[in-house]
Amino acid sequence: MDITPRSRWRWRLQNALFVVLFLSSIGATAWLSTQYRYQADWTAGARNTLSEAGRRLLATLDQPVELIAFVKDDAALHRRIEGRIRRFQRHKPDIRLTFVNPDLEPERAKAAGVSRSGQLVIRMGGRRETVDDMAEKTLVNALQRLARGNRRWAVFLDGHGERDPFDQSNPGLRTLAENLEQAGFEIQGLNLIRTPAIPDNTAVLIVASPQRTLLAGEVEALLGYVRAGGHLLWLHDPGDLKGLAPLAQALGIRFVDGVIVDANPELRVMLGIKHPAVIPVVDYPQHDLTRNLKVQTLFPFSVGMAYQGDGSWTGDVFLRTLPRTWAETGPLTGGEIRFTEAEGDTRGPLALGMALTRELEGRQQRVIVIGDSDFLANAYLGNGANLELAMNVLNWLSLDDELISVTPRSAPDTQLALSDTALAVIAFGFLVVLPLGLLGTGLALWSRRRRR
């Protein structure tokens, strides 16, 4: 081909276009890689992804967060910590992480309240908290406490055989109290004989199924607390009101006679429930308290209720039993239980939890009445969504609506446990079957090629 000025010009133009297109493609690839990111977590339980509860909490934080990790100068350790904190930074970019070596800067560690290497200091809005580990649950609970700003006192009435927040036995409420403390509540018992007045700084007063009758003066103190706008959680088990009938009348609550039982044996078998008086709540009415509950809650030996107020309160049912339940007034032992309306049984579905609200002096007062206290006990709190419901209730009563359902779930077990039989099968497969298979395949190919 003859080289002419025109062909030379075309050749140069083609080269120039190639260079421009090549550089443009590289630039476009680089731009796409910085502007569009895709990540997938295929681990069991998505344990490398921040839980939904943690994401909801971060969405409520309107202030930057500073994290200071007091650890040694170890590059591998720093990378692991950064990877863990990066889960939070994806949803809240103004989280800043810095490292301090406590051995090289002991004065700074002492001023931050750090007592040993490995602790993390969290600062937000002028407040500070020190945690001992960097698990998601620990960090979320610490951020939740900082978000509260001031103390929340959860006061438990005692002196009448109520469930005890410091009792670690099955009937006690110690597990609940520990979770409340982790979420920023201060736990306090209150005996109205020793302290006749309910403290003004009480965020929530909890009356957890008294077993002995309250004195008239104690009941009047409770009524005065409610009249003054205090927030109340009343847990009532089947049976006598123990002197609290005036409180029920003031709230417009009427309890249904009998113990709620469930006549659905198939559902009980599916959920592993052996006693008909252990009631599962599966379907939740629309309410802030239950909007994020995905699994059932269990209520042993509970009582139904109805709202019959004069209109001063707004009553909303947030817990309701299934249609095949009823309130049984007869004995629960000695044979098959049958619904008998003539004997005073009340057919379900029955209201099991009632949320009462009213406007008082320019602010909203909240009261919750639940016809069971066993579901909060140490023996039952871990069943289904009982703990999540309990935290929702206390957060709602303390007017922390934005913190409802921020109880982080624990990561699943990451260890592989194999039986001796499984180990023997795997060893035999890798040490015998796989080598023989490779040898056999090789011999077969060799024989086939030789025949050809």
pTM: 0.70
Q: Return the top range by mean pLDDT from 19-28, 30-39, 265-274.
A: 19-28
Out of 168-177, 340-349, 407-416, 441-450, which region has the weakest mean confidence (pLDDT)?
407-416
Query: Residue 397 burial by CB count (10 A; 0-12/13-18/19+): exposed, middle or buried?
Result: buried
Query: Residue 338 burial by CB count (10 A; 0-12/13-18/19+): exposed, middle or buried?
Result: exposed
**431: pLDDT strictly greater than 70:** yes
Mean pLDDT of 107-133: 84
Q: In DSSP terms, which residues pair with 190 in a beta bridge?
A: 157
Q: What is the rounded CA–CA span in Å between residue 290 and residue 280?
A: 14
- Output the CA torsion sign for 72, 74, 77, 82: positive
3-state secondary structure of 71: coil
Higher pLDDT, 85 or 54: 85
**13: pLDDT strictly greater than 90:** no
Out of 35-49, 74-88, 98-112, which region has the weakest mean confidence (pLDDT)?
35-49
**Which domains are present in the chain?**
44-145 (3.40.30.10), 150-403 (3.40.50.880)
What lies within 8 Å, CB to CB, of 63 at 6+ separation is: 124, 125
**421: pLDDT strictly greater than 60:** yes
**105: pLDDT strictly greater than 80:** yes
**48: pLDDT strictly greater than 90:** no
**286: pLDDT strictly greater than 70:** yes
Cα–Cα distances in Å, from 410 out to 48, 166, 321? 12, 24, 29
Q: State residue 155's pLDDT score.
A: 96
Q: Sorting pLDDT into bands at 50, 70 and 90, what band is 41?
A: confident
- Alpha-carbon dihedral angle through residues 445, 447, 451, 452, given to the nearest 10 degrees: 20
Q: Return the top range by mean pLDDT from 22-26, 41-45, 188-192, 332-336.
A: 188-192
**Mean pLDDT taken over the chain:** 87
Mean pLDDT of 370-398: 92
Q: Sorting pLDDT into bands at 50, 70 and 90, what band is 414?
A: low
Q: State residue 153's pLDDT score.
A: 92
First-to-last C-alpha distance (Å) of the chain: 50
Q: In DSSP terms, which residues pair with 187 in a beta bridge?
A: 154
Q: State residue 272's pLDDT score.
A: 79
Contact assessment for residue 277 and residue 237, using Cβ atoms and an 8 Å cutoff: no
Q: State residue 409's pLDDT score.
A: 55
Q: What is the rounded CA–CA span in Å between residue 402 and residue 296?
A: 22
Higher pLDDT, 166 or 111: 166
Nearest residue to 371 (alpha-carbon basis) of 156, 209, 158: 209
Q: Sorting pLDDT into bands at 50, 70 and 90, what band is 317?
A: very high
**403: pLDDT strictly greater than 80:** no
Q: State residue 221's pLDDT score.
A: 95
**67: pLDDT strictly greater than 70:** yes
Q: What is the rounded CA–CA span in Å between residue 270 and residue 203?
A: 39
3-state secondary structure of 36: coil
Q: Sorting pLDDT into bands at 50, 70 and 90, what band is 274?
A: confident
3-state secondary structure of 395: helix
Mean pLDDT of 212-221: 95
- Helix or strand holding residue 396 (H, E): helix 386-397
Q: What is the rounded CA–CA span in Å between residue 294 and residue 116?
A: 40
Q: State residue 157's pLDDT score.
A: 96
